[in-house]
Amino acid sequence: NAGVMQNPRHLVRRRGQEARLRCSPMKGHSHVYWYRQLPEEGLKFMVYLQKENIIDESGMPKERFSAEFPKEGPSILRIQQVVRGDSAAYFCASSLTVTTNTGELFFGEGSRLTVL
């Protein structure tokens, strides 16, 4: 059973370009979470999604950032018009449905975004 898969592992963008980060949750998981980790800091919650729904986006910047988790395919974190401050590691995690939720999140290996 494959774990949470994130790609690309490393992404380099110039200021003003768009970054798209993809996350395929573990098989059977319908909850996806995105976190951002700046160098030497902890993980900051960004957004929590279920299939086709955004449940909590309280940690998401109001502009330039968006996330989706379509019925088919991976979850996508999209950053438009990137700036240097967006350089970070972006982690995706998934969990089982709420009714059988053991409370554990399974993390991907992260996508490291570098903005030049």
Under the binding rule (CB under 8 A), the answer on residue 90 touching another protein is: no
- Which tokens is 4 given? 């949470």
* Closest separation in Å from C-beta 81 to another protein: 26
Under the binding rule (CB under 8 A), the answer on residue 109 touching another protein is: yes
* Closest separation in Å from C-beta 37 to another protein: 8
Binding interface with another protein (CB under 8 A):
33, 35, 41-45, 48, 55-56, 58, 89, 91, 93, 102-105, 107, 109-110
